Copies of this chain bind each other. A is one copy, B any other.
C-alpha cells in the first residue's frame, strides 16, 4: 500500500494538470476543497512536491501552486517516489527504500527476492508509463463508458 500522502499528491497534481493549459495556479484551499483533502495536510504535501521540483508556487495574495512540467511528463511513479511511497512489496527489492533482508543469507540466491523483483518491475512499468495527462484521459473514457451504460 502506498501512503495516503502519495494518493493525495496524485489527486492534487491531477487537479493542477487540468488547469495547466490556461496557465492558472490554484490555492491550497481550492485544491483541498475540490479533492476532499485535509487542508493543512495537503499544505505539507505540496511543499514537499515543490522542494522536489515537481510544482512551482507563487506567494502572497492570489498566490498558489502550478505544474512546472507538462502533464504528459509527470508520471505516477515519480509522484509516489517524491512523496516517500514505496512501490515494491519488500524492502530488499525497493529502489528507494532499500533495506537488506537480515534473515536471508544471500540476496542473489533468494527465490523470493527474485519473484518480488519481477513484481516490482511489472508495477513500475505501468506506473511510469502513466502520466497525469493519461489519468485525465482515462477519466474521460470512463465517463463516456458509464454514460453509454445508462442508456
User: Using a CB–CB distance below 8 Å, which chain A residues touch chain B?
Assistant: 1-2, 7-8, 10-11, 14, 35-37, 76, 86-91, 94, 102-104, 108-112, 114-115, 118-119, 122-123, 125-127, 130, 134-139, 142-143, 146
Are A115 and B1 interface neighbours, CB within 8 A?
no
Q: Are A112 and B90 in contact (CB under 8 A)?
A: no
Instruction: Please measure, in the bound complex, the distance between the C-alpha atom of A38 and the C-alpha atom of B10, giving whole angstroms.
Output: 38
Contact A115 B127 (CB under 8 A): yes
Q: Which of B88, B114, B118, B138 contacts A111 (CB 8 A)?
A: B138
Decide: A139 and B110 in contact? CB cutoff 8 A.
yes
Partner of A122, one of B1, B8, B115, B126: B126
A11, B112: Cβ atoms closer than 8 Å: yes
Q: Which residue of B lies closest to A1 (CB)?
A: B86
Contact between A123 and B114, CB atoms less than 8 A apart: no
Distance of A102 Cα from B115 Cα, bound (Å) = 33
Q: Known: A36-B103, A37-B103. Contact between A1 and B142, CB under 8 A?
A: no
Q: Within 8 Å CB of A35, what residues of B?
A: 103
Kindly state the separation between the CA atoms of A115 and B87 in the bound complex, as whole angstroms. Answer: 14
Chain B residues whose C-beta falls within 8 Å of the C-beta of A91 in the assembled complex: 1
Measured between beta carbons, the chain B residues less than 8 angstroms from A134 are 111, 115
